[in-house]
Amino acid sequence: MVNRANSETSAVDEKTSFAGPKDYFALLKPRVMSLVIFTALVGMVAAIADGASVHPGLAAASLLAIAVGAGASGALNMWWDADIDAVMARTIGRPIPQGLVPKSEAAGFGMLLSALSVALLALASNYVAAGLLAFTIFFYVVIYSMWLKRSTPQNIVIGGAAGALPPVVAWAAASGTAPLDAWILFLIIFLWTPPHFWALALYREGDYARAGVPMMPNIAGEASTKKQIFGYAVILVIAGIAPYATGLGGTAYLAISSAFGAGFLMLAWRVLKSAPRSKEAPKQLFAFSILYLFALFAALLAEDLYAIYV
């Protein structure tokens, strides 16, 4: 037994010793981080266009802190979900299932970066923003990853709040407050999350079922999931118009939001009417949903930058 234990330890050590900086960077979920940076940037610029005053250096440091906080959440999520990541085709290539980074190191790495990111945001901006960032990390790791993800098909509906908070955190970093317009940005991402992830779950259903994650398609069934996707798409497209109603977005935003909203609804309708087990329509909706969110936030960013500099 001792020999077996020793040989297992040395095998792990041998593989672990081949982990490079890029493997630790992969723990931060760089693609999620890039979306967080983008939505946070839009929230911050919108706050500045709304009258907030912040030094560009402090704004950059705040965005860095928010990005690192998002990355820390990703590392802690990978630590907690290492067992299910190892059985899903989408996640099996992550550093922990690959045996490159030990779970304990991912946990330590995530906790250290969480503390540093919140401290840096408190220093660079204010305690409101730092408190919101700490809450975002807590919500993603404890409420979503540890509690909801394995216990309810509403996991990504409620858990989506964590992914929706970065523009609110950034708005608070710039202004010290979180007004209605900041929460409208939150609402758009919050309502966008279910159709986005359920479209993914529809063509990766086997993956989630094998891992024992109760995603909507493998609990409520495919037909119910498609109906819910369409329902959320309708509410999302209406929420997507809300920035125009409050003055957060202008006519250019309204045009882009309407055009991309029509596209979103059309693809959600195609998912609803698609044949059972069909993967094509959910794949198209999943891909378009990313473009939709990017287009809406890019339109807001462009309008705000125009208002600030022109």
Select 21 or 51, whichever has its Cβ closest to another protein.
21
Tokens encoding 25: 């960077």
**Interface characters, 47-76, with another protein (x: CB under 8 A):** --------x-xx--x--x------------
Answer for which of 116, 143, 220, 307 binds another protein (CB under 8 A) is: 116
Give the span between the Cα atoms of 156 and 153, in whole angstroms: 8
Q: Is 302 an interacting residue with respect to another protein (CB under 8 A)?
A: no
Select 3 or 17, whichever has its Cβ closest to another protein.
17
Answer for which of 92, 123, 255, 287 binds another protein (CB under 8 A) is: 123
Q: Which of the ranges 20-28, 82-90, 155-163, 244-252 carries the binding residues for another protein, by CB under 8 A?
A: 20-28
End-to-end CA distance of the chain: 73
Select 10 or 34, whichever has its Cβ closest to another protein.
10
Residue partners of 226: CB distance under 8 A and separation at least 6: 202, 271, 272, 274
CA distances from 32 to 36, 38, 135, 149, 159 (A): 6, 10, 18, 18, 14
CB of 116 to another protein, least distance (A): 7
DSSP conformation letters of 56-125: HHHHHHHHHHHHHHHHHHHHHHHHHTHHHHTT-TTTTTSTTTTTSS-HHHHHHHHHHHHHHHHHHHHHHS
CB of 43 to another protein, least distance (A): 20
Q: Is 28 an interacting residue with respect to another protein (CB under 8 A)?
A: no
Give the span between the Cα atoms of 151 and 218, in whole angstroms: 13
Select 123 or 290, whichever has its Cβ closest to another protein.
123
Tokens encoding 208: 């989630």
- Considering CB under 8 A, how many residues would be counted as binding another protein? 17
- List interacting residues with another protein (CB under 8 A): 10, 14, 17-21, 24, 55, 57-58, 61, 64, 116, 120, 123-124
